[in-house]
A and B are shown apart, each in its own frame.
Chain A
Amino acid sequence: MPDDPAFVERLRAGDKEACATCVREHSTNVYNLALKLTGDPAAAEDVLQETFLSAFRAIARFEAKSQLSTWLYRIAYNAALMRLRRRQVETVSLDEPVEDGAGVPQPRDLADWSENPERAVLDAEMRRVMDEAVGALSETLKSVFVLRDVNGLSTAQTAQVLGLSEEAVKSRLLRARLALREKLSVYVAGRVAEAER
């Protein structure tokens, strides 16, 4: 199993079965991180390939004090960032929530849809809205949100991947979640109003 020292040794020895296991275990999360950060399937595929090529080439330098997954996501994050910078993508969203004096974004939409869209999550339109909302986040909020709430990493792992303190991860996560809540509130309220017409 990944992170078992014997497994890492097999990776170091270039064991193809171990490499395939590593790809199977981590490719989905690596691909999603790259896709959400770049917003471009072709770039995400390049990052995916580059991540595993670099990782298997550099596995001798992997130190077992960090987790293999954390190490891989860090390589993927850096590769995605390089691509973003090369493309000179605008990194500050114009659509983040307004902030109060203490720097915490203030919620604007106060419609209560919490009892509502559980079944709608599988609906294609809702998925599109959810993706667009993540796509509109600034790069700094997006990376934290994807690692924590899409890929399911812990706060500590996310902090390690991004080279941030846990406090910074928590603060960015809150801002990302509040921004997404705002977008979904607007969409769901519109959908409810339409259904009631």
Chain B
Amino acid sequence: MKSEACRHLLGQLSDYVDGEASQAICKEIEQHLAGCDNCRVVVDTLRKTVTLYRTRGPDPVPDDVQERLYRVLDLPDGV
């Protein structure tokens, strides 16, 4: 991750892994990745990081917390 091209690529990575980068940027990144192993590793592991957190998703609200919430709001649970 030393060259100017690597640094430039780094700034575009979120959009790229989200599939939101423009076609021109995607092409530029893919050309760079074909010749730069370090950047390829960063892209692959960054994508994996995002996938892991998204796969995991939010924690459920614990049952006792949910029950107290409905009580405080004076709502019948499971209406």
Q: What residues of chain A have their CB less than 8 Å away from a CB belonging to chain B? A: 16-17, 19-21, 23, 27-29, 31-32, 35, 41, 45, 48-49, 52-53, 56, 100, 102, 104, 106-107, 110-114, 116-118, 121, 126-127, 130, 134, 145, 149-152, 170, 173-174, 177-178, 180-181, 184-185
Contact = CB atoms under 8 A, between A and B. Distances in A.
Interface string B30-68: 000000001001101111111111111111111001101
Given A31-B61, A107-B1, A152-B54, A102 B49 contact: no
B65 A127 contact: no
Contacts of B69: 23, 27, 45, 48-49, 52
15 contacts: A16-B79, A20-B76, A27-B69, A32-B58, A45-B69, A102-B11, A107-B1, A107-B10, A110-B41, A114-B41, A114-B47, A114-B48, A121-B52, A178-B13, A184-B52
B61 A48 contact: yes
A83 to B, nearest CB: 16
Nearest to B74: A16
Given A100-B7, A177-B14, A184-B49, A27 B42 contact: no
Contact of A181 (B49, B66, B74): B49
Contacts, number: 129
Contacts of B60: 28
Contacts of B10: 104, 106-107, 174, 178
A53 B72 contact: yes
Interface residues of B, number: 42
B24 interface: no
B65 A48 contact: yes
Contacts of B45: 111-114, 181, 184-185
